[in-house]
Chain A
C-alpha cells in the first residue's frame, strides 16, 4: 500500500537492549521525521532528515541514532533502551520545507521494562 508505514506496531524490550524502529514511505518525500508522543508533552521531534544521507537533531535526540541511506527508509535506533524511552513513536514525512504539513505513520508503541 502507498503511504508511510511503521514497524513493529508494538514492541516490548528490556533496559539496555538495542531496539530499531522502522519507517518506510512510498511518496518519495524529501523530508522524514521521528517524533515521540508522551502525555502532557504532545509530540516532540527526535531527529529529522532533509534527504538521503542528511540527518539532524531535533528537540530530544539523546539516546537515539538515525540513518537514511535510501530516500524511502528512515530507521530509528535506541542504542541502549531506558525506561524513559517508553513512548509512542511516530514517523512522518513531507514533500518540501520543514513547515509544510506532515504525513504521519500509525505509530510504534514501545515499552521498556
Chain B
C-alpha cells in the first residue's frame, strides 16, 4: 500500500530550463509534505517542505506546489543546474502510524549541460 507515489522514475532536462517533479498521495489525512534530494553514495538530505495550510512554498530556485483537491504536489526547480542531478523523494508523515515518514519511490533527475 504505497500511499505516496512518484510515477516518473526519471526525468531529463536541459540546463537552465525548468524541472518539474511530481508526487501523488492517496491518504487525505496527510497534512505535511517534505522533499528530499539524494546524490549517489550519500544519504538523502532535506530540501523543502510544505504544510497543507499553504499551496506554495518557495526557497530560492526550489518551489513546492500543493493541490489538495487533486492530492498532488510538485517540485519546481528553476533554473535547473547540472548539480541538481540527483534522485528526489517526496515524503509525508502518516498520522495513523505514529507520524512515521512514508516515502515515494523517487524520481531520478538528470540535468544536461
- List residues of chain A with CB within 8 A of the CB of B106: 42
Residues on the B chain within 8 Å of A102, using CB: 44, 46, 101
Stretch of A11-19, A43-51, A62-70, A71-79 contacting B (4+ beta carbons < 8 Å): A43-51
| Alpha-carbon distance between A40 and B42 when the two chains are bound, in angstroms | 18
Residues from chain B with a CB closer than 8 A to the CB of A44 are 103
Q: Which of B14-22, B59-67, B68-76, B92-100 contacts A (4 or more CB under 8 A)?
A: B92-100
- Report which A residues bind B (CB closer than 8 A): 4, 35, 40-45, 48, 56, 58-59, 90, 92, 97-99, 101-107
CA distance A42 to B9 in the complex (A): 11
Known interface pairs A98-B93, A101-B34; A106-B100 also in contact (CB < 8 Å): no
Q: How far is the CA of A42 from the CA of B105 in the complex (A)?
A: 4
B43 at the interface (CB under 8 A from A): yes
- Given known pairs A45-B100, A45-B101, the reply for A99 and B43 (CB within 8 Å) is no
Residues A58 and B43 in contact, CB atoms below 8 Å apart: no
CA distance A44 to B105 in the complex (A): 10
Give the top 6 A-B pairs by smallest Cβ distance, nearest first: A104-B43, A99-B93, A98-B99, A42-B103, A101-B46, A43-B103
Interchain CB contact under 8 A, B89 and A58: no
Residue pairs across A and B with Cβ atoms less than 8 A apart, 16 shown, are: A35-B103, A41-B2, A41-B105, A42-B89, A42-B104, A42-B106, A45-B102, A48-B98, A56-B98, A59-B100, A90-B44, A99-B93, A101-B49, A106-B42, A106-B43, A107-B43
